Amino acid sequence: MSPAPTRRRRTRPARPAGPDARGTEIEVEVGPVAHGGHCVARHEGRVVFVRHALPGERVVARVTEGAEGAKFWRADAVRVLRADAARVEPPCPVAGPGLCGGCDFQHATPARQRELKAAVVAEQFRRLASLDVDVSVEEAPGGGEEPGDGLRWRTRTQFAVDAEGRTGLRAHRSHAVVALQDCPISTRAVVGSGVLAQRFGNVETVEVAAGSDGAAPLVVATPVVGTHAHLPKLAAASVAVRTPEGLHRVSGRTWVGERIGVRGREHDFRVSGAGFWQVHPAAPALLGEAVLAALEPRAGERALDLYSGVGLFTALLADAVGAEGHVLAVEGSERAVRDARKSLHALEQVELWAGAVEEALTDDELVRRGADVVVLDPPRSGAGRDTVAAIAGLAPRAVAYVACDPAALARDTAFLAGHGYVLDGLRAFDLFPMTHHVECVARFVRAATVPTPPQA
């Protein structure tokens, strides 16, 4: 049989957006905060996403992206005509318009930042899950030199390297590198590694990871493709080079050590290279406790840890279900699974699978035995429709979803609702002060298990 003839679509050429509007200055009333670290304003009927502003302010904004005929512009607030009471002077000298893009909210008090993040979480749930959630963003303890200052919390930082070999961070939505002498949100251990005071040759990025075991931080340099990296001497750090073939030791060790304590039990972990670990020092224990509170694992139960990394939640679940229980951890990074094997080898009730979560959830044995409780900590893009459906198919009594993107979480909340699971608790944590990022832990249960509130 010959193939059916294809129909040609008539395509209309895109209308030109008009002259470039970059550099244009406009005066606007700043509206609500939006997901992504900016606020929404309007100018002559056009939406303008304004950074370095706060809701309710009146500012002069300079357009950074957009053309005269575009539906929206991006802009920076370059002059504040009417300031919000919570506006402060940014503690970092390069946290302003056109400079470093690493932080979003240094111009607001930490308390105001948490209010903005709570508003974003609530708006995403209204928009994507049709739910009104009452959420406040909790301050994370520790991490700063002064309580609540929002500084010196980042234990892992990836720096870019400019053409002259200087390290820094990129400008917002740009490849341009802003060279730094300090990064006030990075810990003293990260800054003390010496990478900001040295020059690197043929290097694209430099990642610094400082573990909680007190050992020297690890510096991982990624060379420009096809070149040999030229590294300075860093006496205060271990050094490794990452290539497509793997991690190559230069000096010291190629991993960092982490220790956490939750509910009276301590666990030690090793994290190879600059592998994933929560960047705020309080985050592992804080999230671990939140997950246990959401799931309330019982002795002898079957637990499933998806996107398990080096096994943070795996270890805590193993403590909770005990020797008679079982914990299956699934992680796509083979390096992370190797680390988990080294860290969790004494826990006989733990089983580790290296592979894609989506594929693991179709395993006949896993589908047959199901799971009593599930925790998932997916990447920023979230779990997605198919993964959510597969989790629901295992019929767990409770699901704990750890999310660093409230939009992905809200979208997946709607997917879970379609499979009979409802949101039964939501906590949000300020684990990324000065930035727009927020970490959430959501609890889901089958709709039939939600208690009906008493009648008034």
CA distances 387 to 165, 301, 307, Å, are: 43, 22, 12
Residue 421 predicted with pLDDT over 70: yes
Please report the pLDDT score of residue 172 as a whole number. 97
- The model carries a pTM of 0.93
Task: Show contacts of 220-229: CB within 8 Å, 24+ apart.
Answer: 220/247, 220/273, 220/274, 227/202, 228/202, 229/200, 229/201, 229/202, 229/203
The token pair that represents 409 in the structure block = 């979480």
pLDDT band at 453 (very low <50, low <70, confident <90, very high): low
Secondary structure element (H or E) that encloses residue 189, with its range: helix 188-191
Cα 245 to Cα 216, 241, 242, 262, 383: the distances in Å are 25, 10, 8, 37, 29
**Average pLDDT, whole number, for the chain?**
94
Can you give the pLDDT at residue 12? 53
Name the residue among 390, 427, 433 with its Cα closest to residue 412.
390
Residue 107 burial (CB count, 10 A): 26
Residue 355, pLDDT above cutoff 50: yes
pLDDT band at 16 (very low <50, low <70, confident <90, very high): low
pLDDT level of residue 31 (50, 70, 90 thresholds)? very high
Q: Kindly name the residue from 39, 100, 404, 440 that is annotated as catalytic.
A: 404
| Whether pLDDT at 258 is above 80 | yes
pLDDT for 3:
44
Known binding-site positions: 278, 307, 331, 377
The β-bridge relationship of strands 72-82 and 46-51 is parallel
Residue 7 in this model has a pLDDT that exceeds 80 = no
In the predicted model, what is the mean pLDDT of residues 348-368?
97
DSSP state of 202: S
Residue 5 pLDDT exceeds 60: no
Confidence of residue 448 (pLDDT cuts 50, 70, 90): confident
pLDDT confidence of residue 18: 79
pLDDT of residue 146: 83
- pLDDT tens for 225-253 read 999 999 999 999 999 999 999 999 999 99
Residue with more model confidence, 245 or 311: 311
Say what the pLDDT of residue 6 is. Answer: 43
**Whether 167 contacts 160, CB under 8 Å:** yes
pLDDT in tens, 158-172: 999 999 999 999 999
Which of helix, strand or coil describes residue 266? strand
Tell me how far apart the alpha carbons of residues 273 and 239 are, in angstroms, rounded to a whole number. Answer: 10
Residue of 120, 183, 115 whose CA lies nearest to 154: 183
Tell me the pLDDT band of 142, cut-offs 50, 70 and 90: confident
How is 7-59 classified by DSSP, letter by letter? PPPP-PPPPP--SB-TT-EEEEEEEEEETTTEEEEEETTEEEEEES--TT-EE
Q: Residues at the annotated binding site for S-adenosyl-L-methionine?
A: 278, 307, 331, 377
Q: Identify the pLDDT of residue 4.
A: 45
For residues 78-94, average pLDDT: 98
pLDDT band at 10 (very low <50, low <70, confident <90, very high): low
Q: Is 404 a known active-site residue?
A: yes
pLDDT for 15: 54
